[in-house]
Structure formats: structure tokens, C-alpha cells
Amino acid sequence: MAFQSVNPATGKVEKEFATWTESELDRVLGQVAEATPAWGLTSHAERSDLLRRAAQVLQENKSEYARLITLEMGKLLKEAEAEIDKCSMAFEYYADNAEAFLADEIIETDAGRSLVAYLPMGTILAVMPWNFPFWQVFRFATAGLAAGNSVVLKHASNVPQCALAIEDVIRKAGFPENVFRTLMIGASQVQSVIEDPRISGVTLTGSEAAGRKVASQAGAAMKKSVLELGGSDPFIVLDDCDLEWTVSQAIASRFGNCGQVCIAAKRFILLDDVADAFIERFKESVDALKIGDPMDADTAIGPMSRIDLREELHQQIQDSIKAGAVALTGCAPAPGDGAFYKPSLLDKVEPGMRAYEEEFFGPVGIIIRARDEMEAIRIANDSRFGLGSSIWTQDVERGERLARLLQTGSTFINGLVKSDPRLPIGGVKASGYGRELCHHGIREWCNTKAIWIK
């Protein structure tokens, strides 16, 4: 088996990489295991210096890394450059804050002195997706490394060049050899890595199906796991919203990265009083999006990451239309080479349709109407997913009151849902468990140890 790096804008195979044998995998895991204890004993100052150097490496090579992202998964070049900037910010954030996050916590007990220490766990396996090939990895790895853990990465099979480039960032930054390694292995080899006694935990960002499998394997092996899975985020438009602003943010939230974002707005839940006006402006804006070369600065919609994913999305849309949903625009592959799909809107979506029940991972907005705010909340919660959500209203007290009723890991009021190192990110229900970023994310990968001294 070989990993293929395929340009989704052209369908051209750019490079191929051989999959490792079991002996190659065992050798690298052994090297990481040898490096791990010493890394766990390094000072916070040493780690912070290396984290800052990694941020510099990313900036010094931003153009190269961004073009590689665009080449392998089709992200607009300007979006890829922003992704590299975000990774740098995460390294700087943990360089500045990790020591405080992991400081001993003094607890008053019957002991002469008692405390909670946050200590490294060992080696963490990261199973990561292709849609943000640098950010998804560093969203976890910045915290994992800052806590004194080593990291092994099993990246998505369609971004092998990004996977190797990520390891190169860590190497160029001067981290000790083998505290971060990319494993060139297939999905069938993941279970053996999880079960390996040299691995202490596993984190996965990806599909619900992959998450259930990894959670099962990690549980059987008695290993810690953190999962950030799919989402079908509600974008709730109330009757007192700033309509023009809300439509502009709806476009950004749904069609950024060609709609291939876990925390993108996917279900647009509109109160009846504002629905027609919102849809009219929304459709005009969708129809104005320019499809084209992701390297072109004027392009608004690049290709989807793979042809098979485009076909899967199209089938979901067609099945929903057969069940009664109304295609307002798009809803078809774009002609020509590559994995392009027309930016699309589906109206009149109701329970039982695939558009209502499933995550749509591509450039299509799903419109659902609600009589009032409480029906909007009920519809938003009527999903097995619970990742992000947003509420659009000029009454922020109303927005906060309703935010507390949403069964999601985050709610943004008058802003599109985004990951920010200063805030935890993660989901509930079938969107996973555990948190990344902020102090919550770094402590996920610590042995939270009580020490009692008489």
C-alpha cells in the first residue's frame, strides 16, 4: 500500500509514499519511548523556548507550508496561510502559559502539606484529519509537548506531505530527537499502536465512525482518549438580528474551507419572521461565490478534498431532495476537472431527511424554519451531535439566556464559531468528549497526581 498525495483541484497524483512495515513502526516507537523520560524531565523554560522557536519556524516557512496544504487538500491559499498563523499563535500561547497551567495546586487537608501536581503521561498517539492538516495536529500537540509528553502522529492518508512537514517543523525548532514522530501507517495499523504498552493515550479528531472505533480500542486497552468528532452546528437567526451582518457571517461560517469544517454552521435555523428576508440575501451571496483555482486570491470556493467525498455529499443532497427538501441553488458537482462542488442551499428541510439527521461536510447550507425561539432551541438540540452553535440577535442578554439551553460544547453569540487557544474546544453527545486548548486542553494529557505529606 502507498500513500498518494493527490491535488484535488486537478486530480493529479503529486507524490507517493510507501507504508511502513511492522518492523519499521516498532523501531520508531522504540526510539520515541527512549526519548520520552528525558523530555518529561525538562524544565518549563526549556520547553517554552522550543515552543517559541517552532512558532518562528512556521512563520519563516509560511509560504512553503501554506502551498503544501493547498496542493494536498485544496484549501484556498489565503486560508492556508491563516492556518499557519493560527498554529504559530498556539505555540506562543502555550509557551507563555503552560508553566502557570501546570503549577502545583496547594490543597488544605489534614496533612502538613498536600498538593495536586500535573505530570506528563508519556507518549500520546494523535490520529488526525485532513481538513486542517497543520492546525488539527498542533491544536493538540502544542499542549501535549508543553506538558512534557512525546507525540506520535497518524495523519490522514491523503496529506502525507503535510504529515512529514509537521515533523520537520518540530525538528527544525530544535526539539530533542524523537519526541515527535510521524508514523507512515495505514488505518489498519492504528489499533496495534493504541494497544502498544509504550503508548499512554490517544486523541482523535475525525468522523463519528472513526471515533467510536478508536474509543472502543482505547477503552479495551485502558488508555485515556479524547475525541473531537463530527458536528451539525446550528446557526440560530432570531427576529431581532442585524440581518446584513448575520448573512455575511453565515457565508463565512458555512463556506469557508469549502464547508469542510467540523465547527462550521451547517443547520440554519430561522425564525419565521426573518426567514424569507434572510434566505433572499443568503442566496444572493451564495450565488456570488466564485469557484476556481485555490491558489488564486480571487477564488472564494476551491475544490473539496477528494472526489469520493464530493460524491458522498452529492448523494446526501439528492436523497434529501427526493424526501422533499427544496434545492434553492447549486446542489450539483461543478463541471470540469477536480473535486469542485457548487455552493448550495437546501430549504424546507424536515426530520427524517438526511440533511436533518446527518453531518454535511461540504459547501451546502441546510435551512430549517422555526415558529419561535424555543422551537429553534428544540430543533437545534434535536441532533445526535453537539459540537458548536451560534445565536444571532441584537439582544445579547436574550442570546446568553438561550445559549445556556443549547446542548453543545460551545455557543458563540453574534460571531462565527472558531477555535481559539484561550478557550476550550470539544463536544458532547456524538461529537465526542474531552477538551483541547486553554488550560483544560493541556491538563487532559497530565497525570493529575495528589501528593500528601505528613
With b meaning 16 or more CB within 10 Å and e meaning fewer, what string describes 388-426? bbbbbbeeeeebeebbeebbbbbbbbbebbbbebeebbb
Give me the phi and psi of 396, to 5 degrees please.
-70, -30
How far from chain centre, in Å, is Cα 446?
Answer: 21
Q: Where are the alpha helices (DSSP H) in 149-261?
A: 160-173, 190-195, 208-220, 243-255
With b meaning 16 or more CB within 10 Å and e meaning fewer, what string describes 334-360? beeebbbbbbbbbbbbeeebbbbbbbb
Region of residue 437 (phi > 0: left; psi between -120 and 50: alpha; otherwise: beta): left
Catalytic residue among 81, 92, 208, 228: 228
Q: What is the DSSP letter of 436?
A: B
Q: What is the DSSP letter of 237?
A: E
Instruction: At 269, list the grid cell.
Output: 435555523
* Residue in 332, 392, 384 with CA at minimum distance from that of residue 362: 332
Residue 311 annotated in active site: no
Say if residues 345 and 330 touch (Cβ distance below 8 Å): yes
* Residue in 168, 148, 121 with CA at minimum distance from that of residue 45: 148
CA gap 27, 31 in Å, rounded: 6
Residue 162 annotated in active site: no
Region of residue 426 (phi > 0: left; psi between -120 and 50: alpha; otherwise: beta): left
Supply the DSSP string of 215-236, one letter for each residue: HHHHHHTT-EEEEE----EEEE
Catalytic residue among 262, 331, 438, 446: 262
Write out the catalytic residue numbers. 228, 262
